């Protein structure tokens, strides 16, 4: 059985990629499993070729693909295009993250039980249990950190419904059936946020069963993160992120058959993002006037409703400002 692991690489600190690859080589998998590690160097300031990657076991091979910078979605698509046709499963690992040794085998086991999409738990960037902060797993699935780690299968439609407004898995903890779902690709227009969320929805829409495991199987790193940088309100990237968030939910509304309740939920998400956008536009209009104007124009192209929503968002500025500052 062949598994491809795709690692998009763009880092400024040496050693992170070597640690990520070492965690792949340390996986405890069955004897018939081979792993094809595909590193996509996305114009990284530190080249992937310069990383001191230790010798890998015979069942694990490494390929490095170098290309001009195009963003994480494009880099992952380059990796997917390089996956050999006989590959059973594809997994993703960000270059500053690492896996614990049972991650792949837990996924193989549940995918072997009929799931075509799998994800598991992990530590977030602050070392916290991610599932304890994930409403779908915590509330709908009844997860508690005191439970013994376990795997579970859920209906694909139920998982899709949760994904409409919540990005449940972290990318580095996802494995999916490449034979069944390998035709799909990431949306490259979403460069700062949402590309993974939309991809999971696309896969879940085609999945009869989805598997997950509550075991803590991954550790988030602290290298370059486009998404994390985009939460700095003093950075122009914060506005670009909100443009992508608005674009994401418009794409969800256009791309999938949704219930009326799901469409209302999307409208609520969009209202929140418009409020946040107006808040950041006011906050940054003196520091980055050109970026603010560009963001408003881009949002208007994606969703003309900004002008309809703007007056109410402006009126809510005072009420929201405290929660934005502590959120």
- Of 225, 167, 227, the C-alpha closest to 197 is 167
Q: What is the mean pLDDT of residues 262-266?
A: 95
d(CA 17, CA 106): 23
Position 321 scores a pLDDT of: 58
Confidence at 327, pLDDT banded by 50, 70, 90: very low
pLDDT tens readout for residues 266-319:
999 998 888 888 888 888 888 889 988 998 899 888 887 777 777 777 777 766
Q: What is the mean pLDDT of residues 218-236?
A: 66
pLDDT tens readout for residues 158-201:
999 999 999 999 999 999 999 999 999 999 999 989 999 999 99
d(CA 37, CA 299): 37
pTM to 2 decimal places: 0.91
Q: What is the mean pLDDT of residues 42-70?
A: 94
d(CA 69, CA 188): 12
d(CA 213, CA 275): 36
């Amino acid at each position: 059985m062949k598994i491809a692991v795709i690692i998009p690489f763009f880092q400024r600190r040496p050693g992170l990629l070597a640690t990520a690859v070492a965690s792949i080589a340390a996986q405890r998998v069955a004897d018939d499993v081979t792993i094809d590690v595909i590193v996509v160097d996305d114009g990284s300031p530190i080249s992937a070729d310069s990383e001191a990657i230790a010798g890998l076991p015979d069942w694990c091979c490494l390929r490095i693909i170098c290309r001009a910078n195009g963003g994480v979605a494009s880099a992952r698509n380059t990796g997917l295009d390089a996956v050999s046709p006989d590959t059973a499963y594809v997994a993703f690992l960000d270059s500053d993250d690492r896996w614990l040794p049972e991650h792949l085998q837990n996924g193989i086991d549940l995918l072997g039980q009929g799931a075509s999409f799998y994800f598991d738990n992990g530590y977030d960037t602050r070392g916290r249990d991610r599932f304890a902060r994930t409403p779908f797993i915590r509330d709908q699935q009844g997860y508690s950190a005191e439970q013994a780690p376990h795997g579970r299968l859920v209906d694909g439609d139920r998982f899709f419904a949760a994904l409409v407004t919540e990005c449940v898995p972290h990318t580095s903890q996802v494995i999916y059936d490449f034979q069944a779902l390998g035709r799909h690709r990431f949306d490259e227009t979403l460069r700062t946020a949402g590309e993974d969320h939309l991809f999971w929805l696309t896969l879940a829409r085609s999945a009869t069963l989805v598997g997950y495991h509550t075991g803590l199987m991954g550790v988030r790193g602290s290298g370059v993160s486009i998404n994390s940088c985009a939460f700095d309100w003093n950075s122009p990237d914060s506005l670009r992120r909100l443009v992508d968030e608005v674009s994401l939910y418009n794409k969800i509304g256009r791309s999938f058959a949704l219930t009326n309740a799901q469409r209302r939920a999307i409208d609520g998400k969009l209202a929140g993002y418009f409020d946040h956008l107006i808040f950041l536009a006011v906050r940054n209009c003196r520091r980055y006037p050109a970026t603010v104007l560009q963001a408003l124009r881009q949002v208007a192209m994606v969703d003309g409703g900004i002008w309809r929503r703007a007056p109410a968002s402006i009126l809510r500025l005072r009420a929201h400002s405290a929660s934005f500052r502590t959120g």
